[in-house]
Structure 1
Amino acid sequence: MTTPTTPRIAIVTGAARGIGAGVARRLAADGFAVAVLDLDETACKAVVEGIETAGGRGLAVGVDVADERAVEAAVERIAAQLGEPTVLVNNAGIIRDNLLFKMSVDEWDAVMDVHLRGAFLMTRAVQGYMTKAGWGRIVNLSSTSALGNRGQANYSAAKAGVQGFTKTLALELGKFGVTANAIAPGFIETEMTKATAERMGYSFEDFRAAIVKNIPVGRGGLPADIANAVSFFAGESAGFVSGQVLYVAGGPQA
């Protein structure tokens, strides 16, 4: 990307580990100052320290993205301490997998709150800075589960909702120089997928092998694979790409 004279400010939610941490590090390497957000501010500090050691600027912020007032306060703090944000990556997410007949209302609501309410609240809080600047990039993390996945009625519905949300943002904000795109990862090797394997009673090696045999490129994805896609969408060169869903899954998706 072409780095502006004054570094632009990016926010990445769910960035203490996994995909979010990888995205935060990549955006910092691209020249952005990065606010690293997660529930636990202390957990974000290692990512920020890595960014600063590499010569970048970062800020650790603890926030529950489903809490309206907390989100507004966090974004105001970022604008005051780091700079007014014009890039937002809505990555925060949780899973509460269960078959439909076993799924509780709490399991449904928890997933909807983080993925959909969280993306809505964060985007609403940040879009004003983008429209004022006449430039902005919103990248929302969806999933191949948006196409349907057994035991994930809540997660699949939320991730499909993220895609509709993204397309609507593209329509509403495009005239202000703001693009909105979604990335739908397939199997990515993170702490979350390792926890899923453990919960299902598999070793991660066996779990990964069973999935990888059905991935055309013959390997699992890494956080860096998603970070590369975010880097493109967040850059100057992606200004004519908006309202799109990019499946980063090692092969075509139905």
Structure 2
Amino acid sequence: MSSTSRVAVVTGGSRGIGRAVTRRLAAAGYDVAVVHAVNQAEAAAAVKEIEVVGRVGRAYQADVADASVIEQVFGSIEEQFGGTDVVVNSAGIMPLAPVAALDLAVLDRLLRTNVRGAFVVAQQAARRVRDGGAVVLFSSTATRLHLPAYGAYAATKGAVEALVPVLAKELAGRNITVNAVAPGPTATDLFLDGKSQEAIDQIARANPMGRLGTPEEIAEVVRTLADRARWINGQTVFVNGGFA
């Protein structure tokens, strides 16, 4: 592969919003490295979708919170693709419980994946993204909705929002943008899991648009931040149909 090819790294890229992001970036001309945690079959399917549109895709299995493994993965991506231009961290977990009832072991898992994982990926992005590139992290509209049972999850996403403008300023002079995307309720397995159809319909009706978002709608915003919207930097962009 030529070192002049545009290369994107997408964590959590085998399912849900991350999978839609890999498709959208591939369609925009990026070769894509898909970083996934467990599901090798889904990751392989994501790579096939990248290849269908004529781009190069490769899958890498890693825990985003494992700094040494993520460093090795980014090193392999540089060797195999020639460099990195865009890093998107969509890996995350969303166990829900009221603050009074939350098992602190669950809190530790949330902090490890959603905060440490985002930081580890952002750290590698800061070290490796080529000048003129972009870093896109994921927050959530849950930071504004203040819904019961979302306290721990929203707290982890608030940490991501705090990180973004700091990193944007630290990368000054390199023409690298750093932003977060904060989706509202979106029709993914992560969001739908454990919810009754009645609860899903109620959430959809509460949105001014009368429905849930789609992964493709979120992916389009990520694609825009990747290389089109160069004057958006250090921001959290809420993509929620007016939900909050």
Q: Same fold (TM over 0.5)?
A: yes
Kindly state the Cα deviation for residue 252 of structure 1 after the two structures are TM-superposed. Answer: 5.4
Does the 8 Å CA contact 2:188/2:215 hold for their aligned counterparts?
A: yes
Match of 1:190 in 2: 188
Matches within 5 A, 1:185-224: 185-197=183-195, 202-203=196-197, 206-224=198-216
Q: Report the aligned-residue RMSD.
A: 1.6
Match of 1:144 in 2: 141
Distance 2:162 2:226 in 1: 19
The one-letter amino acid paired with 2:18 is G
SS at 1:216 equivalent: coil
The one-letter amino acid paired with 1:214 is A
Q: Deviations over 1:157-202 (max 9, x none)?
A: 01111111111111111321111111110010011122131xxxx1
Match of 2:49 in 1: 50
SS at 1:92 equivalent: coil
Unpaired runs of 5+ residues, structure 2, are: none
Distance 1:225 1:241 in 2: 18
The one-letter amino acid paired with 2:87 is L
SS at 2:216 equivalent: helix
Distance 2:135 2:114 in 1: 15
Match of 2:155 in 1: 157
Kindly state the Cα deviation for residue 135 of structure 1 after the two structures are TM-superposed. Answer: 1.7
Distance 1:239 1:40 in 2: 34
Distance 1:13 1:239 in 2: 22
Distance 1:58 1:207 in 2: 37
Matches within 5 A, 1:1-254: 6-40=4-38, 42=40, 43-130=42-129, 133-147=130-144, 148-197=146-195, 202-203=196-197, 206-235=198-227, 237-251=228-242, 253=244
Distance 1:109 1:17 in 2: 23
Q: Percent identity?
A: 34
Count, aligned residues = 241
Distance 2:28 2:207 in 1: 29
Kindly state the Cα deviation for residue 7 of structure 1 after the two structures are TM-superposed. Answer: 2.1
Kindly state the Cα deviation for residue 40 of structure 1 after the two structures are TM-superposed. Answer: 2.2
TM-score, normalised relative to structure 2:
0.94
After superposition, the Cα gap between the structure-2 partners of 1:252 and 1:98, relative to the gap in structure 1 and judged at 3 Å, is closer
Does the 8 Å CA contact 2:192/2:200 hold for their aligned counterparts?
A: no
Kindly state the Cα deviation for residue 83 of structure 1 after the two structures are TM-superposed. Answer: 2.6
Does the 8 Å CA contact 1:136/1:177 hold for their aligned counterparts?
A: yes
Q: Deviations over 1:19-61 (max 9, x none)?
A: 0000011001001111111112613110001110221111101
Distance 2:114 2:16 in 1: 16
The one-letter amino acid paired with 1:177 is N
Distance 1:83 1:207 in 2: 47
Which stretches of structure 1, 4 residues or longer, exceed 3 Å deviation after superposition? none
Q: Deviations over 1:128-149 (max 9, x none)?
A: 222xx32220111100111233
The one-letter amino acid paired with 1:223 is P
SS at 1:16 equivalent: coil
Does the 8 Å CA contact 2:3/2:83 hold for their aligned counterparts?
A: no
TM-score, normalised relative to structure 1:
0.90
SS at 1:135 equivalent: strand
